């Protein structure tokens, strides 16, 4: 099933972003590249915020966030309460992020994850459905500000 996927990176991940975007389009997905277009130095929060906004406003069903480590851009994406971005490095984590956490964005580190592994993670992410059930109430809590500790 084709998905609407937004993809964004910083300068460290432009090459991986281009590779993944082309591959996803060849697989029949609608891909929106939120930039950047070159490897000139940029600030990852700007692109993470744009990706979170695309998810929040329904311009994409899923997202892929990329930076050198995946850490910074995942933090930026998660500043938007509508985004549930999981930093992953292998397919099982990508699948579990969808199955248990209803993640709508995954983050990958371009300096840490090779092209084949990145594709395997994206494939697992796209092909896995949210399980719901016992996980639904927990995921619903993620859209709210922090509550009193238990």
> What residues are annotated to the active site?
67, 100
**Residue 73 contacts residue 8 (beta carbons within 8 Å):** yes
Cα distance between residue 42 and residue 45, in whole Å: 9
Starting from the edge strand earliest in sequence, which strands make up the sheet with 4-9, in order? 30-33, 4-9, 62-67, 105-109, 85-87
Cα distance between residue 77 and residue 107, in whole Å: 9
DSSP string, 22-85: HHHHHTT-EEEE-S-SSSS---HHHHHHHHHHHHHTTS-SEEEEEESSSHHHHHHHTTSTT--E
């Amino acid at each position: 099933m084709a998905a609407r996927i937004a993809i964004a990176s910083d300068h460290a991940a432009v090459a991986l972003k281009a590779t993944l975007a082309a591959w996803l389009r060849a697989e029949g997905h609608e891909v929106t590249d939120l930039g950047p277009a070159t490897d000139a130095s940029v600030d990852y929060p700007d692109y993470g915020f744009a990706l979170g906004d695309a998810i929040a406003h329904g311009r994409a069903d899923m997202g892929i966030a990329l930076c050198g480590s995946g850490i910074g851009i995942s933090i930026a994406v998660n500043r938007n309460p509508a985004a549930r971005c999981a930093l992953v490095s292998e397919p099982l984590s990508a699948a579990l992020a969808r199955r248990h956490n209803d993640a709508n964005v995954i983050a990958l580190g371009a300096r840490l994850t090779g092209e084949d592994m990145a594709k395997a993670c994206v494939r697992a992410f796209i092909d896995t459905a949210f399980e719901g059930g016992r996980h639904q109430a927990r995921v619903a809590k993620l859209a709210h500000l922090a509550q009193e500790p238990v």
